Chains A and B, each alone.
Chain A
Amino acid sequence: MFDWKFFLLHIFKLSPAYGAALLTTIGLAIVGQVLGIIIGGFVSMGRLSRSRTFRWTAAIYTWFFRGVPELVLMVILFTGVAAAGLLRFDDFAIGSFTVSASLQAAIVAIGLREGAYMGEIIRNGLQSVSKGQVEAARALGMSPMRVMWKIIIPQAMRVIVPPFGNDFNVMLKVTSLASVIGVPELFLTTQTFSAQNFRVFELFIGLAINYLLLTTAWSVIQSLIEARLRRHESIAGRRTFLRTVQAHLIGTSATDTGSA
């Protein structure tokens, strides 16, 4: 029998432990993603490098971290590496907030995994910028750094953001794997609750709704970023916030306002 009272209380009255779990999940996803973007930037440069050594290093990195399951990576990093005496993560504190060893290992694992995916996404974006655009910028007298920041990156962003958004969506869910190495994120916390009161169905439906809220919030943010990047395609002018979100969620093209 589904206990509605328990379910609604659980959903709408966040317990401190559950609130902390929510923050851990979001933090893990965001910090892992940022780390992944940084690594991915280097990987994409390696992939596009003139040096064969860099190209190969980046290719092997991508091959490895796209091929090994995130779960296996986390266990290797947290338990295996420590057991082998190579590297042991230790708790450390930032102010009053303690970053546990398991959370560090999870962040590193997710960052490494993201680095491989982001490397490919960024590379694809950089390669999409046409030679003519770069030449026009160079002909104006822009230095290579300026060409990169003013022309290549802004233009590549339009190609990077949609797959990046999908990737981050997957990432929000992949964080649940960190439960295996004992990171008290949403999944592990829910599991702990259910071991105490056996309301497995209610708790996990609640958890599903929680993940849906996270991925939906991200969807909305993504659609806003994409709409901003597609300003140049619209001659009808700026879209309202609501129409942008609606177009994104329902799946109509964000560019159907018409262009010349």
Chain B
Amino acid sequence: MIASATPVEDIQHMTSSDLIVVEATGVHKWFGPLHVLKGIDLSVSRGEVVCIVGPSGSGKSTFLRTINHLEPINRGSILVNGHSVGYASIGEKPIPKREARIAHSRRDIGMVFQQFNLFWHMTLLDNVSVGPQTVLGLSKNDARDRAAALLNKVGLGDKMEAYPQSLSGGQQQRGAIARALAMEPKLMLFDEPTSALDPDMSREVVSVVEKLAKDGMTMIIVSHEMSFVRRAATRIVMMNGGIVTEELRDIRAADLSNTNGIGAYLNATL
């Protein structure tokens, strides 16, 4: 039902390690005495769209934020394209990298937040071009061209000079997606991207994500939104109490109407 976007011929030329974008092994995380991640193992291959679902407090957002090291981890390892984002060496006592090195490793990972977090002191065009210009070192004109193309792609071509405050939530979130894409990431992380939006605006965002999925973007999406699951996901991962409780790889309608596990959960939150 959901076709992988990477053509089969390409896959045959790649070794299995080329295909793996995220490799999380035994990830543990404590907030003080609170044990929020209790040994997460998850491997995500190129072109996959993984939806992480689960009740509030299950650790799914925290786990997502450990992938680009917005949250440090206490044990285990997370490799993105074969490299650890936050640690110079991994093992029993991980040694953190210098902040500038961590920043460098984050370039390839785009992130979209629940509250959009567009920079309110910049126009939409500046929001999208600031990354390529300051981090990737593109010239101002090149960065702006790239930003303009992306804003057109997410349907905001007429809002480039607008400041975030004058945009609707859905427009802001699409802008935030364009900002992340401007870095030409190999992986996109979505942290409840539609939770702050009404259904109409949600739909705008879902359709952008769906397009990305068709283009073969590797994505990890934390969301309760059924439409992500229906229209974009290649795999569903259920988390509860800091561990992965269930995974669904081949998503069929039958699985989703199941009365146990993920099916039941998704139907209940629908």
Contact = CB atoms under 8 A, between A and B. Distances in A.
Interface of A: 132-133, 135-144, 146, 150-151, 154-155, 158, 231-233, 235, 259-260
A231 B110 CA distance: 28
A154 B134 CA distance: 15
Contacts of B179: 136, 140
Nearest to B110: A139
A135 B130 CA distance: 15
B104 A136 contact: no
B119 interface: yes
Given A132-B113, A151-B119, A155-B120, A140 B165 contact: no
Contacts of B103: 138, 141-144, 146
Interface of B: 68, 70, 99-100, 103-107, 109-111, 113, 115, 117-123, 130-131, 134-135, 162-167, 176, 179-180, 183
A133 B104 CA distance: 19
A144 B106 contact: no
A160 to B, nearest CB: 13
A150 B117 contact: no
The 3 closest A-B pairs by CB, nearest first: A136-B117, A141-B107, A232-B163
14 contacts: A133-B120, A135-B70, A138-B103, A139-B180, A140-B107, A141-B103, A141-B131, A142-B134, A143-B99, A146-B135, A235-B163, A259-B165, A259-B166, A260-B167
Given A133-B117, A135-B117, A150 B68 contact: no
Nearest to B164: A232
Contacts of A144: 99-100, 103
Contacts of A140: 106-107, 130-131, 135, 179-180, 183
Contacts of A133: 117, 119-120
A132 B113 CA distance: 8
A137 B100 contact: no
B68 A139 contact: yes
A76 to B, nearest CB: 42
Contact of B109 (A136, A139, A146): A139
A232 B121 CA distance: 6
Given A140-B130, A155-B120, A155-B121, 18 more contacts: A132-B115, A133-B120, A136-B176, A138-B103, A139-B109, A139-B111, A139-B180, A140-B107, A140-B179, A140-B180, A141-B135, A142-B134, A143-B99, A143-B103, A150-B134, A154-B121, A232-B165, A260-B167
Contacts of A143: 99-100, 103-104
Contacts of B70: 135, 138-139
A173 to B, nearest CB: 32
A125 to B, nearest CB: 13
B156 to A, nearest CB: 15
Nearest to A139: B111
Residue among B70, B131, B180 having the largest count of chain A Cβ atoms under 10 Å: B131
A132 B115 CA distance: 8
Nearest to B105: A141
Contacts of A151: 119
A141 B106 CA distance: 5
A260 B111 contact: no
Contact of A260 (B117, B118, B131, B165): B165
- Among A132, A141, A146, A158, chain B packs the most CB atoms within 10 A around the CB of A141
Choose among B104, B130, B180 the residue with the greatest number of A CB atoms under 10 Å from its CB: B130
